[in-house]
Amino acid sequence: MGQSPEVLISEEKIKARVQELATQISTDYADKGELVLIGVLKGAFIFLADLSRRLAIPRHIEFLAVSSYEHGSVRSGAVRLVMDVRRSIEGKHVVIVEDIVDTGHTLHYLIDMLKSRNPASVRTCALLHKEHKTEVDVDVDYLGFSIGDEWVVGSGLDYDEKDRTLPYIGWINSAD
């Protein structure tokens, strides 16, 4: 067995930030009717679970899945929708919930695709953002933390399916 990943963002910090985001979203969408939260599988499942349980407004949970990476950090090409939501979002307020925005291609693709279905609005929420790696500009309306270029795991994020359920955000220091 290799070493545990080093802690980049602790479980306590994640919890506190998720609560802040939930409070902000609850305020922004108060009196707007049911909010549709769309989690991007697989990475967003833990963040979405934590965030949605802390909201103080009516909400409906959906998931979709995209494919953009093949093994670890090796890019497989364009973004592809591999699973769609189960309900129409027409006339609904939507928040896309992502684990991490890296180049921005995934979120850009999803915003375009979901906006074409005539929702009342589409906003974005991501636990993490690698701002220096942006290739396509996308607005992250609700952001947990900005991080550097390192590959991170935990809290839903994986490296080749490993370390997805770590309670903190960690990174593997290959110099060790």
Active site residues: 102
What does the DSSP assignment read for 142-160?
EEEEEE-SS-EEBTTB-BT
* CB 158 to Mg ion: min, Å: 10
| HSE-CB for 63 with a 13 A CA cutoff | 13
* CB 105 to ligand IMP: min, Å: 4
* CB 8 to ligand IMP: min, Å: 10
Q: Can you read off the two tokens belonging to residue 60?
A: 């409906």
From Mg ion, ligand IMP, none, interface partner of 92 (C-beta below 5 to 8 A by class): none
CA separation for the pair 46, 90 (Å, rounded): 26
Instruction: List the Cα angle 38/41/43 in 5-degree steps.
Output: 110
From Mg ion, ligand IMP, none, interface partner of 151 (C-beta below 5 to 8 A by class): ligand IMP
From Mg ion, ligand IMP, none, interface partner of 68 (C-beta below 5 to 8 A by class): ligand IMP
Largest CA distance in the chain: 52
* CB 65 to ligand IMP: min, Å: 10
- Helix count and strand count (H, E) for the chain: 3, 9
Q: Which residue is nearest to Mg ion (CB)?
A: 43
The contact set with ligand IMP (CB under 6 A) reads: 43, 68-69, 98-106, 151-152, 157-158
- What's at 53, amino acid-wise? R
Closest to Mg ion by CB, 99 vs 163, is 99
From Mg ion, ligand IMP, none, interface partner of 89 (C-beta below 5 to 8 A by class): none
Closest to ligand IMP by CB, 41 vs 55, is 41
CA separation, residue 67 to residues 41, 52, 78, 83, 94 (Å): 9, 24, 8, 9, 21
The contact set with Mg ion (CB under 5 A) reads: 40, 43, 99
